[in-house]
Amino acid sequence: MAQIYTDISRTFNEYLLMPNLTTKSCISDSIDLSTPITKYKKGEPCSLKINIPIVSAIMQSVSNDSLAIALSRCGGLSFIFGSQSIEKQAEMVRKVKKYKQGFVISDSNLTVHHTLKDVLELREATGHSTIPVTEDGLPSGKLMGIITSRDYRLSRDSLEKKVSDFMTPFSKLIAGQYGISLSEANDIIWDNKLNCLPIVDNQQNLHALVFRKDYDYHKQNPNQLMDSEKRLMVGTGINTHDYKERVPALIEAGTDIFCVDSSDGYTEWQKETIQYVKKAYGDTVKIGGGNVVDKEGFLYLVEAGADFVKIGIGGGSICITREQKGIGRGQATTVLEVAKARDEYLKETGIYIPICSDGGIVHDYHIVLALAMGADFVMMGRYFARFDESPTKKVKHGNTYVKEYWGEGSNRARNWQRYDISEEKGLKFEEGVDSYVPYAGKLKDNLEVTLSKIKSTLASCGSNSIRHLQDTARITLVSSTSIIEGGSHDVILKENDY
């Protein structure tokens, strides 16, 4: 007969954190929100961490290059959606990796023989207003000059005007010598009031550009998540069908970590995908698996070689898997069981496997609950779909603005590749809905509020790190009436006229 679990499947809404002693060391500036996202041996440092415990979901309506850039600058990580062509996904990765940081290899270059029309077309295609002019038009060619928007006037200059007639020639440029440090380059920029410093060698060949704005960005975003080459970090989602072609292309583009995007990760297809990546690339390439909801699924993916395990089925705001198939589990119960299995595995093997809690987050404090219950980081979709940087349209709905948000299991996404049980290129029924979410503005502004709440909650729990929270948190079940008690009640709320 079927195995029956008598324990109730619970959600984050059914729990509250109880306060611990808040010490004087538990202030916002001293709270460390960094967390591991890949497995490591006990006593050794983790090779890959994120600076805040938040990643964005592998969804068409959430994670593209623009959101990946914005989130990485705040210390988190995006997994760019895989339900698109390999070429388009790889190009998104390249845009994130090229976005900035320190010494930038120019990919917008012209020669002295080009015209103003070519300048405008290149600017339109790349968005770059600073264009090096090299002898052969290559990024490593002899630098002849630089073009910026201050070098031409569209109202007076002919589109056929030669670049050589309006560029700032090399003789009038201040350049840095190839081999100087980034700090030295920034000093030259500030001392000479420059916006851009070209880096050249003794033969005047261009090697890189250093921008003033990158220095400013770094100071404004001290938690930026960067790789060893000071480029923003980015993850990518892959499926269990074309991974042999997709993975190499994404590695070449610069992806930092993969995650298998599957509605149910407890499958042989997912095991084969993870094993292929580990056999082909070893530990130099990181890959997570999921989604699973119990100890058995967790251990299955760990034994396959997963660097982290993503947990949760049916808890997303646009997911209707539980309604359609009767498959899933309350997210709080899932986190508690898998975290226990993870700790047992650590005790037996000395290897720590990070857990990503995916779904079930309604309020900001749910993030802290997930962490306290044992998750190392959380993945969110609806949260990020609301922002300017997400790829969907901002539209007027009634008297307010909203953004479109749809599930990967919806017909709109047409992401049949994440469903392993069928080779048919189509969905027989939907496991996700097409919807709207309230428009909320810029990612950074909203995320700063969320992180402030997280840090304040950790302080009330007497913790100054995620690991300390997991070791010392006290959590209580709540009744339906205590949930009502926790909100505003028995008052008449004022209408804000300001």
In the structure encoding, which two tokens stand for residue 307, read together? 């660097």
CA angle 62–383–94, rounded 5-degree value: 30
**What is the C-alpha to C-alpha distance for residues 454 and 461, in angstroms, rounded to an integer?**
11
Active-site residue, 319 included: yes
Residues 6+ apart with CB under 8 A from 496: none
What number of other Cβ atoms are within 10 A of residue 242's Cβ?
Answer: 14
DSSP codes of every residue in 311-335: E-SS-STTB-HHHHH-----HHHHH
Contact 450, 458 (CB under 8 A): no
Read off the amino acid at residue 414.
R
Residue 418 annotated among the catalytic residues of the structure: yes
Rounded to whole angstroms, the Cα distance separating 258 from 255 reads 8
Nearest residue to 69 (alpha-carbon basis) of 139, 11, 127, 18:
127
Half-sphere exposure for 81 (CA within 13 Å, toward CB): 24
Q: How many CB atoms lie within 10 A of CB 100?
A: 19
Query: Do 433 and 381 touch, CB atoms closer than 8 A?
Result: no
Distance from C-alpha of 144 to C-alpha of 167, rounded to nearest angstrom:
9
Rounded to 10°, the helix 86-98/243-253 angle is 20
Catalytic residue among 246, 342, 386, 418: 418
* Cβ-based neighbours of 310, under 8 Å, separated by 6 or more: 259, 265, 288, 289, 290, 291, 292, 355, 356, 358, 379
**Active-site choice (26, 196, 259, 319):** 319
Q: Which residues are catalytic?
A: 319, 418
